């Protein structure tokens, strides 16, 4: 597979849908320069799974089924495609690796139920904060939100969480001081923080900030947890607020539905496979934030540039799959915050591994997750042509999911 584009941007999706799927077709048109929301001339990669159709042909899209993924890995001397469990969202990792191997300088990811919004009106057509297909830059001028851990009555460290969605809703709905009943919160936010306020936007300085990970919101059916969906009404449309950069100590989950990644953070794309499907991108986000903060980087949140027409979900099954997050996310953040991680882009891969070692040691993930982490880091080094980490272990066979 090759790459023929001026801006070296790749769009990565995992899907088991057929090539007639209307949103996949829209993404293919947009990536090649057409589509209702404009176009970009991007490379469009779709990673299939065991339930994917045997035949898939869509102009403007490069599709790889499981057999193709394994053959691709063998051809390039890579490990992850064989080691990764099938029937899992984490096979999206293979798409990231192929994008990097093809020379991508920017990776944008979404899902097959997100539709790029038309670049009209005040959304503009210039940047990725205004339009899904807009130009992107890792260095942004944005409101910088920082926070700090506190101590409870027993002297235990308590992490500080920031509900970034609050910066994109009408302030009149938030109650006094940013408190009151929150209209919306992101999937993965520590539940005991959903009623708490956030730092006032006017008190957050506007700065030039390095943001190698940028999270766009989604209108209509945004990324919220099953508790929200069971108890509150949708659709929901966000306000077109200022972008905010979450800096050190400001924990907030981000997802894999409308997210931009730059080379400094490519190692952090790794999606863990041996956790709940509903937590794979959320737990990834916590690891990514912690490693970013070690380097003085922030995670940007910006206005919605997609709307979601959500695929069918069983909400009670989603709730069950999210229990591990409801009960563990705060402790995961504390575990990661306690790590002493060295600064420097050369340490990003080893810091990623240290984070997963810590999560495994605390029982949040099984030991086999490190086999997949090592396969990822090995392959990342091969496809990027750079030394990523030195602690990679010998090759192992496919890891099986549990449960």
Q: CB-based contacts of 223: which residues, under 8 Å, 6+ apart?
A: 186, 187, 255, 257, 308
**For range 60-67, the mean pLDDT:** 97
Of 46-55, 233-242, 344-353, 360-369, the poorest mean pLDDT is in 233-242
Mean pLDDT, the chain, integer = 89
| 76-86 pLDDT tens trace | 999 999 999 99
Of 12-26, 173-187, 288-302, the poorest mean pLDDT is in 173-187
Q: What is the pLDDT of residue 3?
A: 43
Question: How would residue 4 be classed by pLDDT, with cut points 50, 70 and 90?
Answer: very low
Half-sphere exposure of 347 (CA within 13 A, CB side): 14
Q: What is the pLDDT of residue 392?
A: 44
Of 57-66, 120-129, 374-383, the poorest mean pLDDT is in 120-129
The percent of residues in the chain predicted with pLDDT above 90, rounded, is 77
DSSP 8-state code for residue 233: -
**For range 39-54, the mean pLDDT:** 92
Dihedral, 42, 207, 250, 344 alpha carbons, nearest 10: 70
Residue 264's nearest CA partner among 230, 298, 226 is 298
Whole-number Å distance between alpha carbons of 314 and 92: 22
Of 43-47, 221-225, 233-237, the poorest mean pLDDT is in 233-237
Question: How would residue 178 be classed by pLDDT, with cut points 50, 70 and 90?
Answer: very low
Q: Is the per-residue pLDDT at 237 higher than 90?
A: yes
Q: Higher pLDDT residue, 345 or 149?
A: 345
Whole-number Å distance between alpha carbons of 386 and 40: 28
Q: For 19-39, give the DSSP string.
A: TT-HHHHHHHHHHTT-STT--
Q: Is the per-residue pLDDT at 322 higher than 80?
A: yes
**For range 250-268, the mean pLDDT:** 97
Bridge partners of 260, per DSSP, are 108, 214
Q: What is the pTM of this model?
A: 0.91
Question: How would residue 181 be classed by pLDDT, with cut points 50, 70 and 90?
Answer: low
Question: How would residue 227 be classed by pLDDT, with cut points 50, 70 and 90?
Answer: very high
Q: What is the pLDDT of residue 26?
A: 94
Q: Is the per-residue pLDDT at 6 higher than 50?
A: no
Q: CB-based contacts of 137: which residues, under 8 Å, 6+ apart?
A: 127
Question: How would residue 39 be classed by pLDDT, with cut points 50, 70 and 90?
Answer: low
The percent of residues in the chain predicted with pLDDT above 70, rounded, is 87
How crowded is residue 17: how many other Cβ atoms within 10 Å of its Cβ? 19
Of 347-356, 369-378, 390-399, the poorest mean pLDDT is in 390-399
**For range 217-236, the mean pLDDT:** 95
Whole-number Å distance between alpha carbons of 292 and 286: 10
**For range 227-234, the mean pLDDT:** 93
Which alpha helices (DSSP H) does 151-234 contain, by range? 226-231
Domain boundaries along the sequence of the chain = 9-384
Q: For 145-166, give the DSSP string.
A: E----EE-TTS-EE--B--GGG
Whole-number Å distance between alpha carbons of 392 and 371: 9
């Amino acid at each position: 597979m090759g790459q023929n584009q001026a801006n070296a941007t790749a769009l990565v999706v995992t899907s088991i849908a057929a090539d007639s799927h209307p949103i996949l077709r829209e993404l293919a048109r947009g990536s090649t320069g057409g589509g209702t929301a404009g176009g970009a001339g991007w490379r469009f990669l779709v990673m299939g799974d065991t339930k994917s159709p045997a035949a898939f042909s869509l102009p403007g899209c490069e599709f790889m089924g499981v057999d193709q993924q394994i053959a691709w890995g063998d051809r390039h001397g890579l490990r992850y495609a064989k080691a990764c469990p099938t029937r899992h969202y984490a096979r999206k990792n293979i798409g990231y690796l192929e994008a990097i191997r093809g020379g991508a300088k920017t990776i944008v990811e979404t899902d097959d139920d997100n539709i790029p919004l038309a670049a009209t009106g005040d959304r503009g057509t210039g940047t990725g904060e205004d339009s899904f297909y807009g130009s992107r830059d890792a260095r942004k001028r944005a409101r910088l939100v920082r926070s700090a851990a506190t101590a409870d009555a027993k002297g235990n460290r308590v992490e500080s969480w920031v509900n970034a969605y609050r910066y994109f809703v009408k302030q009149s709905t938030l109650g006094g001081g940013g408190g009151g009943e929150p209209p919306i919160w992101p999937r993965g936010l520590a539940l005991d923080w959903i009623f708490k306020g956030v730092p006032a936007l006017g008190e957050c300085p506007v700065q030039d900030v390095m943001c190698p990970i940028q999270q766009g919101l989604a209108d209509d059916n945004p990324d919220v947890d099953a508790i929200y969906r069971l108890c509150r009404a949708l659709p929901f449309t966000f306000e077109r607020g200022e972008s905010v950069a979450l800096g050190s100590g400001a924990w907030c989950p981000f997802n894999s539905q409308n997210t931009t990644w730059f080379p400094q953070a490519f190692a952090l794309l790794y999606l863990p496979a041996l956790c709940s499907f509903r937590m794979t991108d959320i737990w990834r986000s916590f690891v990514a934030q912690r490693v970013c903060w070690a380097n003085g980087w922030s995670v940007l949140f910006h206005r919605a540039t997609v709307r979601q027409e959500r695929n069918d979900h069983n909400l009670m099954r989603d709730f069950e799959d999210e229990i591990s997050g409801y009960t563990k996310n705060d402790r995961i953040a504390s575990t990661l915050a306690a790590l002493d991680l060295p600064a420097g882009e050369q340490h990003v891969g080893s810091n990623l591994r240290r984070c997963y070692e810590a999560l495994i040691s605390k029982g949040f993930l099984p030991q086999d997750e490190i086999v997949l982490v090592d396969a990822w880091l090995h392959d990342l080094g091969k496809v990027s042509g750079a030394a990523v980490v030195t602690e990679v272990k010998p090759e192992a066979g496919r890891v099986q999911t549990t449960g």
